[in-house]
Structure formats: C-alpha cells, structure tokens
C-alpha cells in the first residue's frame, strides 16, 4: 500500500515538473512548484514509514513551511518583475 | 481492531493517491491557468489530508502521531492560503481567463476547500 | 557488475550540466545557478559514498546496528550552508556589477571594459 | 529524477523556479540516502532561501537572458572530455552502498561505536559536528560570518529617511491586498519560531541542529519582512542588533573553546566544562549549537534585508524618476498598471 502511494506520488511529481517546464505563464510555474512541494512533503512522510523510522517527520514539517514561505516570496517578488514586463508589453487597460 | 485500522488506512491512502493523481492530470490537461489552479488547489489539500490520515492510522502512537497531526494542520492552513494568494496575484496582474465571452469579469475565484 | 557504479555516473552527469552552464552561458546569474548545480553534484557524491546498504540514518536507536557513515553528512551539512552564504555573496557582486555596468552579460561587460581601456 | 536537471538549461526566470524544485528533489534524494540531517539543511536552504535570494537579485538585474552569441561547441567538448575522464575514473571506485568501501573502514566506525560513551548524544552527526570536528565547524561558521560581512559591505545603504506618510499609505494598500495571507502567516510565524527552537535543541536526539534552526528562524523573519514590509521588520529586528547577534554567536563559539583552553585541555575540548565528561560534552554542544544558530540566522537575515533594501531603494528611485517625468510633461498617467503604484504616486505628488 505504501509502495503504491509512493509510486503514485512520484508520478504526480513528474507531471508537476512537466507543467513547471512547459508552463506558459509564471503563475503556472508557481502553481506547479507549490504542488510539487506538497507532494514532496507527502513523499517524505511515506518514505519515513517505508524505512521504518517515522521519527523523521520533522523534515516533512520543514518542507511544508519552507514551501509556503517560498511561494509567498515568489509572489511578492514576481509582482515587480511583472511590472517591468508589462510596461513594455501592453498599455491596454488598467483594472478599475 | 488492528485489521480495521489497516483497512481504514489503506482506503485513505488509496483515496489520497487517486486525488493526487487526478490533480496531476488536471494540472497537465486543463486549458488555462485558473482551471489548473482549481484542479490543484482542491485535490492537493484533500489528497494530502487523506494520505496523512492514512499514515496516522498506520501508527497511532505518541510523537509520530503528533507530528503527523501538525503536518496535516499545516497543509490545511497553508495550501488554501497559497492558492488564494496565487489566484489573487494572477488576477491583479491581468492574467485573464479563457472563457466563453459571456462573463468579462470572470467567474468565481477557484473555490478553496 | 559495472552497473553498481551508477551513483557516480549520476554525479558526473550533474557535474557536466553544471559545468556546461558555467562555461557556455554568458548571464552571470545563470552562471551562479550552474555553480549551484555543480555544488549539489559534489554533495550527492559525498552522501552517496557515505551510504551503506541496509544501513539507516546515523541516529542511534534500539535494535539497529548498521548506520550510514556520518562523516560525509557532517561535511556536507556545513558545506550547504556555506554554499548558500557564498552564493549570496556572488549575487551581491552581480547586483553591484549590474549597477555599475548596466548589464550582467559577460560579453557586454567585456566590451565596455574594452571601450574604457581604449579611451585611456 | 535527474532528468529535470538537464532540462534546466532553459532560460528565463523559470530557472529560479526550477532551482527550487531541484533543491526539493535533491533533498528527497538525501532522505533516500539516509542523510537526514543533510536533507533537513538542503530543504531549508536549497528550496527556500537560495531561491528567494536569486529572485531578489533577478528583480534587480532584469529577467531575460541574452541569447548566446559564441558557439557552445567548444564548451560541450570540454565538458564531455571532463565527464568522460571522470567516468573512467569511477570505474575503480567501490560499488554503491557496499559496506567494504574504504570510506567506511577508518574513522567512521569509531564515531558510530564510541560516540555514545564519549559524547552521549544519539545523533552521531551532531556529535561529530559539534564535538569531534568542532574546530572545522568553527571555521565554517567564520566563513558564513565573513560572507555576511561581505554582503553587508557590498549592498548596504546609507541610512535614508523616507516620508512616513508614503509608508503608511503603502501599508494600507498592502494590507488590503494580502489580507488572508497576512493573517495566516501571522498565526504561523510563532509556530515557525517555536519549531526552529525545537530543531535547535532537539538536534541532539533527532535530525536538526544549529545550522538548520538558524535557517528556519531566518525564514520565519524573512516571511514577516516580505509580508509586512522591510521597514516594519527592521523596526522589530534592528540592523545593528542583528549584526551584533551574528558576532556574538561566533564569539560564543570561540569563547567556549577558550574556556576549555584555560582549563588546561585542548581548544574546544568540552570534557572539563562540567564535573562529568559526558555532561561537559552536553553543555559544550549545546552552547556551540546555540552560537552556530545565532550566527547563521543573523547572517541570513542580514543578507536578505540588504538585498531587499537595495531593491526597494532602486524602486523608490525609479518611482521618483517617473513622477518627475509625469510632472514635467503633464503626461496622462498611462503606464500606471495597478492601483498600488497609482496611489503611491498620487501621494508622492501631494507630498511635493
């Protein structure tokens, strides 16, 4: 059962990586990154059980935290990067 | 009792796996960002929750359980927040949805579980 | 069984990728990323050397007798943190370069240098 | 697993995202290879902080990469020759995971067998890191400290006074925009800090230790700084205070060594710190890990603050320029993209 779960998660991770590479917009990439992080958390916890030493869930915990922090960080920084691009690209209409 | 736990954890794990897989397919196959976001945001949280619950049922003792619980809580908190922030940022930066032209303001934001 | 060496091949592959990026790309940030990959390949090299079949993580516990080699872990653990610190230093340098040259492409910087040299 | 690395040769800001994924991936690789502590560190560092720093740098230096002009063939040749030679070299190496490899024959058995009696800490990695090879670790910490100083000297800015009103309005806007995230993070941050402390002091028994704890601690504060603005964060964590902490951490580490030196044994030999050698070791490791944690956390915060501070200063300068442009030319503000920018400018104009 655990093995099956591991394999499933690996497959999903692979799909997320594909999306991250193909992703047309920045946000697709961030989304894939977020998903990948969650899947890593799951993978680590399952691996802990598989290896018979489930004390190592600390790592999964750290992953969850770091994942959140980096997603937020990317969003914050991407704002300004997007500005630069849009200034040149389109002056169509600003919201509101 | 033991076998019950075993079966329960198996079911939870399977469900979680199924959800994760469908999320994975969704992120790859859906046409635009917001639908992808919907696919991931919903399945990710529930799938992760399911798998973690399945793991909890495997070993219902002490510190391990506590840590799993913490991870579960954390994912429950973090995932919807992250998707929310993501969707909001995308909207703010004029990333428009591919829709049938009927609505121009866009549908609901991807619902958060 | 030559296949038992696959971990080294992975490491070499990663190293080649990192090396290629460092050599072939002109963008300084890209170069730093390449360096990071190079670094990681070395990390994986050390860690995979320290791994022991059927061993478990080097934290003493009841009923386990075979542990992975803790020494590479220690070396790499510190190396990772030092690596990030040095990467940050490199990034800081890149930022300063951008400020004074207006570009972070290697060729353009060289051209500018050439120009200033010609003037003097 | 490794295939991703190959595709990473693509250009653009996506590289950074891929670096993040790469970090996560290599960290899970380390878990598979039993290196729990290393995975811990790599997770915190490789996936989190390094990606953030690179992003911060990219926002300052521009996003796109110029197309390559010179031919990569020569580079490819060099790379392949090197790789081929390395692979040839590996043919003599011991097989993966074999127990007889020379690496496992010399120092490691002693660490594994005796560290429990000599140091009394279940986590061998911690005991080797902080006790057997403490001198080495001192050097590493010094390197990190130096890197922090380097970043400080490269990127630090003279103290600037910004108009507070502008700050306030910006804050209001940010608050509206990031409401949900802010509230969630506000509840999370204490737990992250607590968790960092847990990692710091539980490092003797499970995976963890000063390095990891420092990074996690710094990550929490970085999260705060990102969401609530650098100035708010700086008001909480004063720049000089952080620099002081970094120095104090290193000093603490070194002075533990000096104490044992004065007690008549070798530098960083903790046996004399208490009556009982094992208790002494415990105390020594605790202090040293504390020093390491302080330094790492402080240096990471310093690095991040300086990057972001630099960036904000640049943005301010840009905004100033564009407002001046607007004023002189009476341009209708076409390039205003979002309400945020719009409002700040409005305020700016009022201020003038």
Contact call for A42 and B51, based on CB within 8 A: yes
**Rounded distance between C-alpha atoms, residue D213 and residue D232, angstroms:** 23
Q: Are both D166 and D250 inside the same structural domain? A: yes
Task: Confirm whether D205 is domain-assigned.
Answer: yes
Is the predicted pLDDT of residue B9 greater than 80, yes or no? yes
d(CA D304, CA C85): 11
What is the percent of chain D with per-residue pLDDT over 70, rounded to a whole number?
A: 70
Q: Give the residue-averaged pLDDT of D40-64.
A: 76
In chain A, the number of structural domains is 1
The count of C-alpha atoms lying within 13 angstroms of the C-alpha of C36, restricted to the half-sphere facing its C-beta, is 33
- What are the tens digits of pLDDT across the range D208-239? 778 888 888 888 888 888 877 777 777 777 77
Q: By the CB < 8 Å criterion, does D188 face chain B?
A: yes
Hey, are the CB atoms on D68 and C25 less than 8 Å from each other? yes
The helix-helix angle for A26-50 and A2-22 (nearest 10°) equals 160
Quote the pLDDT of residue B102.
40
Nearest to D184 among B81, B88, B94 (CB): B81
Q: Which residues in C lie closer than 8 A to residue D66 (C-beta atoms)?
A: 26-27, 105, 107-108
Confidence of residue D334 (pLDDT cuts 50, 70, 90): very low
Q: Is the pLDDT of residue D343 over 80?
A: no
Is A94 part of a structural domain of the chain? no
pLDDT for res A96: 30
| Torsion on CA atoms B18, B22, B28, B29, rounded to nearest 10 | 140
CA distance B2 to B15: 20
Residues D46 and D192 in one domain: no
Average pLDDT over residues D80-109: 72
Q: Establish if C61 belongs to a structural domain.
A: no
In this complex, do D21 and A33 lie within 8 Å of one another by their Cβ atoms?
yes
CB contact residues (below 8 A), chain A span 69-88, against chain C: none
pLDDT at D187 > cutoff 80: yes
Among A63-72, C28-37, D42-51, where is mean pLDDT lowest?
A: D42-51
| One domain, residues D156 and D248 | yes
pTM attached to this predicted model? 0.79
Quote the domain boundaries for residue A37: 2-87
- What pLDDT, on the 0 to 100 scale, is given for residue D336? 41
Q: Answer whether residue D322 shows pLDDT above 80.
A: no
Domain range enclosing D148: 120-314+338-352
Evaluate if residue A84 carries a pLDDT over 50: no
CA distance A55 to D308: 37
Give the chain C residue whose CA is nearest to the CA of D126.
C74
Give chain B's end-to-end CA distance (angstroms, integer).
32
d(Cα C31, Cα D58) in Å, to the nearest integer?
13
Q: Which of A3-17, B1-15, C2-16 has the lowest mean pLDDT?
A: C2-16
Burial of A24 (0-12, 13-18, 19+ CB in 10 A): exposed
Q: Which pLDDT score is estimated for D103?
A: 66
Average pLDDT, chain D: 73
Q: What is the mean pLDDT of residues A72-81?
A: 71
Q: What is the pLDDT of residue D338?
A: 44
* 3-class secondary-structure state, position B44: helix
What pLDDT, on a 0 to 100 scale, did the predictor assign at position A30?
81
**Domains in chain B, number:** 1
**Token pair recorded at residue D219:** 């990550």
C1, part of any domain: no
Nearest CA-CA partner of B28 in A72, A35, D7: A35
CA-CA-CA-CA torsion sign (D202, D208, D211, D212): negative
Q: Quote the domain boundaries for residue C77.
A: 7-51+68-119
Element (H, E) at D43: none
**Is residue A48 scored above 60 in pLDDT?**
yes
Residue C92 to residue D306, Cβ atoms within 8 A:
yes
Asked if residue D142 and residue D23 are part of one domain, the reply reads: no
Higher pLDDT, B102 or C104: C104
Is residue D293, in this structure, part of any structural domain at all?
yes
Task: Please check whether residue B81 lies inside any domain of the structure.
Answer: yes
At D67 the pLDDT is: 59
* Segment D252-264 mean pLDDT: 80
Residue D42 contacts residue D30 (beta carbons within 8 Å):
yes
Average pLDDT, chain B: 75
Single out the residue of C56, C67, C71, C51 nearest to residue C11, CA to CA. Answer: C51
Q: Could you tell me if D53 and D19 are in contact, meaning their C-beta atoms sit under 8 angstroms apart?
A: no
Q: With 50 as the cut, is the pLDDT of residue A3 above it?
A: yes
How high is the pLDDT of residue A29?
79
- State the DSSP string of D222-260: HHHHHHH-HHHHHHHS-HHHHHHHHHHHHHHHHHHHHHH
A31-40, D189-198, D262-271: which range is least confident on average?
Answer: D262-271
pLDDT at D305: 85
User: Which residues sit opposite D123 in a β-bridge?
Assistant: C59
Q: Which residues contact D75 (CB under 8 A, 6 or more apart)?
A: C20, C23, C24
When scoring B84, B87, B94 by the number of chain D Cβ atoms within 10 A, the one with the most, hence best to mutate, is B84
Report the b/e string of A27-45 with b at 16+ CB within 10 A: bbbbbbbbbbbbbbbbbbb
Would you say residue D148 has pLDDT above 60?
Answer: yes
Q: Which of A46-60, B64-78, D113-127 has the highest mean pLDDT?
A: B64-78
Q: Which residue of A has its CA nearest to B34?
A: A28
Instruction: Give the chain A residue nearest B42 (alpha carbons).
Output: A35
Residues D129, C74: C-beta atoms closer than 8 Å: yes
Contact D52, A73 (CB under 8 A): yes
Domain match, D220 and D347 both: yes
The CATH number of the domain where C110 resides is what?
1.10.287.3510
pLDDT band at B104 (very low <50, low <70, confident <90, very high): very low
Pick from D207, D66, D183, D195: nearest CA to D123? D207
Parent domain of B13 = 2-92
Residues 6+ away with beta carbon under 8 Å from D51:
A70, A73, A74, D16, D17, D19, D20, D23
**Coil, helix or strand for C56?**
strand
The partner residues of C105 in beta bridges, in order of sequence, read C27
User: Which ipTM was obtained for this model?
Assistant: 0.78
Q: Which of A8, A16, A60, A73 to mutate to test the interface with B (most CBs of B within 10 A)?
A: A8
For residues D199 and D124, state if they share a domain.
yes
Neighbours of C4 (CB within 10 A): 13
Cβ contact, residue pair A42, B20, below 8 Å: yes
Mean pLDDT confidence for D189-201: 86
Contact B81 D178 (CB under 8 A): no
Confidence of residue D347 (pLDDT cuts 50, 70, 90): low
B104 domain-assigned = no
What are the pLDDT digits (tens) for D17-42?
Answer: 777 777 777 777 787 777 778 888 88
Q: Is the pLDDT of residue D55 over 70?
A: yes
Number of domains chain C contains: 1
Q: What angle do CA D339, D343, D347 make, to 5 degrees?
A: 175
Give the whole-angstrom CA distance, residue A92 versus residue D12: 24
Mean pLDDT of D47-53: 78
pLDDT confidence band for D68 (50 / 70 / 90):
low
Write out the two tokens for D289: 């890990």
Query: How many domains are there within chain D?
Result: 2
CB-count burial class (<10 Å; 0-12, 13-18, 19+) for B103: exposed
How many Å lie between the alpha carbon of A93 and the closest alpha carbon of chain C?
Answer: 30
Residue C58 lies in a domain: no
pLDDT score of D162 more than 70: no
pLDDT band for D327, please (50, 70, 90 cuts): low
In a domain, D73, yes or no: no
> Do D124 and D49 share a structural domain?
no
> Within the 30-89 window of chain B, which residues sit less than 8 Å (CB to CB) from chain A?
33, 36-37, 40, 44, 48, 51-52, 54-55, 58-59, 63-64, 67-68, 70-71, 74-75, 78-79, 81-83, 85-86, 89
Main-chain phi, psi angles of C105, to 5 degrees: -90, 135
- In this structure, chain A runs to a length of 96
* D45 and D145 together in one domain: no
Residue D97 has pLDDT above 70, yes or no: no
A–D CB contacts, 8 A cutoff, strictly below = 140
Residue A28 domain-assigned (yes or no): yes
Asked if B93 lies within 8 A of A18 by C-beta distance, the reply is no
Q: What is the pLDDT of residue D69?
A: 55
Residue at A77 is within a domain: yes
Distance CA D231, CA D198 (A): 28
Query: Which residue positions in chain C have pLDDT lower than 70?
Result: 1-4, 54-55, 61-65
Per-residue H/E/C for D85-144? HHHHHHCCCCCCCCCCCHHHCCCHHHHHHHHHHHCCCCEHHHHHHHHHCHHHHHHHHHHH
Assess C51–A contact: CB distance below 8 Å, yes or no. no
CA distance D287 to D131: 11
Q: Distance of alpha carbon C44 from its chain centroid, rounded?
A: 10
> pLDDT tens digit string along D292-312?
888 888 888 888 888 888 877
pLDDT beyond 70 at D330: no
């Amino acid at each position: 059962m655990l093995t099956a779960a591991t394999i499933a998660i690996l497959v999903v991770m692979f799909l997320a990586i594909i999306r991250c590479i193909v992703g047309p917009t920045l946000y697709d990439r961030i989304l894939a990154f977020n998903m990948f992080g969650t899947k890593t958390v799951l993978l680590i916890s399952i691996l802990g059980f598989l290896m018979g030493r489930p004390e190592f869930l600390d790592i999964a915990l750290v992953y969850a935290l770091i994942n959140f922090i980096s997603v937020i960080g990317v969003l914050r920084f991407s704002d300004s990067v997007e500005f630069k691009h849009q200034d040149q690209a389109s002056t169509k209409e600003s919201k509101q | 009792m033991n076998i019950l736990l075993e079966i329960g954890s198996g079911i939870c794990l399977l469900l979680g796996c199924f959800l994760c897989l469908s999320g994975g397919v969704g992120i790859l196959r859906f046409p635009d960002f917001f639908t992808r976001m919907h696919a991931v945001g919903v399945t990710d949280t529930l799938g992760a929750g399911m798998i973690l619950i399945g793991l909890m049922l495997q070993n219902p003792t002490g510190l391990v359980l506590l840590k799993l619980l913490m991870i579960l809580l954390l994912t429950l908190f973090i995932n919807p927040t992250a998707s929310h922030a993501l969707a909001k940022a995308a909207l703010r930066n004029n990333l428009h949805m591919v829709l049938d032209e009927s609505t121009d303001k866009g549908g609901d934001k991807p619902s958060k579980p | 069984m030559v296949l038992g060496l696959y971990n080294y091949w992975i490491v070499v592959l990663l190293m080649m990728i990192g090396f290629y990026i460092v050599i072939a790309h002109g963008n300084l940030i890209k170069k730093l990323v390449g360096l990071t990959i190079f670094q990681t390949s070395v990390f994986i090299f050390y860690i995979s050397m320290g791994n022991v079949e059927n061993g478990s993580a080097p934290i003493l516990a009841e009923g386990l007798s075979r542990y992975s080699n803790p020494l590479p872990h220690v070396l790499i653990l510190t190396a990772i943190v030092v690596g990030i610190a040095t990467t940050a230093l490199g990034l800081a340098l890149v930022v300063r370069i951008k400020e004074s040259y207006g570009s972070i492409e290697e060729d353009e910087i060289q051209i500018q240098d050439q120009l200033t040299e010609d003037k003097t | 697993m490794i295939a991703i690395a190959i595709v990473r040769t693509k250009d653009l800001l996506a590289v950074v995202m891929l670096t993040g994924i790469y970090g996560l991936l290599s960290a899970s690789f380390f878990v598979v290879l039993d290196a729990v502590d290393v995975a811990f560190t790599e997770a915190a560092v490789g996936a989190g902080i390094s990606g953030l720093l690179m992003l911060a740098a990219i926002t300052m230096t521009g996003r796109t990469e110029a197309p390559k002009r010179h031919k990569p063939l020569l580079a490819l040749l060099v790379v392949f020759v090197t790789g081929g030679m390395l692979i040839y070299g590996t043919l003599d190496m011991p097989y993966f995971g074999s127990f007889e490899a020379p690496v496992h024959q010399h120092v490691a058995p002693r660490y594994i067998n005796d560290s429990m009696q000599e140091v009394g800490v279940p986590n061998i990695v911690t005991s080797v890191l902080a006790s057997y090879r403490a001198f080495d670790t001192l050097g590493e910490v010094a390197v990190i400290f130096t890197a922090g100083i380097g970043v400080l000297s490269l990127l630090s800015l003279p103290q600037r006074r910004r108009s507070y009103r502008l700050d306030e309005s910006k804050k209001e806007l940010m608050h509206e925009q990031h409401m949900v995230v802010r509230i969630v993070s506000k509840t999370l941050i204490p737990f992250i800090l607590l968790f960092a402390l847990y990692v710091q002091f539980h490092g003797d028994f499970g995976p963890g230790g000063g390095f990891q704890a420092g990074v996690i601690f710094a990550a929490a504060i970085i999260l705060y700084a990102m969401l609530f603005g650098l100035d708010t964060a700086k008001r909480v964590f004063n720049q000089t205070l952080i620099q002081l902490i970094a120095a104090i951490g290193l000093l603490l580490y070194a002075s533990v060594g000096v104490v044992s030196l004065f007690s008549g044994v070798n530098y960083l030999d903790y046996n004399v710190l208490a009556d009982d050698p094992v208790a002494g070791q415990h105390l020594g490791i605790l202090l040293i890990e504390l020093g390491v944690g302080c330094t790492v956390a402080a240096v990471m915060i310093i690095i991040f603050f300086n990057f972001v501070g630099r960036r904000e200063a640049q943005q301010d300068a840009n905004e100033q320029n564009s407002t001046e442009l607007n004023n002189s030319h009476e341009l209708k503000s076409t390039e205003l993209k979002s309400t945020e920018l719009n409002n700040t400018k409005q305020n700016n104009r009022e201020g003038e």
